[in-house]
């Protein structure tokens, strides 16, 4: 996708603080962290959002969650963490490339945010 911020970050055209990469997944630190650890985990394949996940592309989502488990271990989040996906306008999604917020390093509240 030519006009996608995260596709440009994945391609290296826009700098980011990369924490993990494999054939399917690219993960980098959020520019505006909401917790001591705030990492965005995204499929390299451009999928706009959670509502576009289907049987043909769900492998890319599964790979994101495999990566999340690895990254959380590397970041020392042994006591737990939160994974958030915002979908669409009502979900608060601002970058239309599927991504999962990995938040941790502090005891988060029991509510959604």
Question: What is the set of active-site residues?
Answer: 99
Q: Is residue 95 near ligand AMP by the rule CB under 6 A?
A: yes
Q: Using CB under 6 A, which of 39, 42, 68, 93 touches ligand AMP?
A: 93
- Whichever of 28 and 63 has its CB closer to ligand AMP, that residue is 28
Q: Is residue 97 near Zn ion by the rule CB under 5 A?
A: yes
CB 100 within 8 A of CB 84: yes
Bridge partners of 28? Answer: 18, 40
CB 46 within 8 A of CB 28: no
Q: How far is the CB of 36 from Zn ion (least distance, A)?
A: 27
Q: What does the alpha-carbon distance between residue 98 and residue 6 come to, in Å, rounded to a whole number?
A: 9
Bridge partners of 100? Answer: 41
Chain residues in the site for Zn ion (CB under 5 A): 1, 4, 6-7, 46, 97
């Amino acid at each position: 996708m030519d006009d996608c911020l995260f596709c440009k970050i994945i391609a290296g055209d826009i700098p980011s603080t990369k924490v993990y990469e494999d054939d399917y997944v690219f993960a980098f630190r959020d520019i505006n962290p909401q917790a001591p650890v705030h990492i965005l985990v995204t499929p390299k394949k451009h999928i706009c959002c959670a509502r576009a996940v289907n049987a043909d592309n769900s492998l890319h989502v599964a790979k994101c969650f495999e990566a999340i488990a690895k990254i959380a271990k590397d970041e020392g989040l042994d006591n737990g963490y939160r994974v958030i996906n915002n979908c669409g306008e009502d979900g608060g999604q601002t970058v239309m490339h599927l991504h999962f917020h990995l938040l941790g390093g502090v005891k988060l509240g029991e509510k959604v945010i």
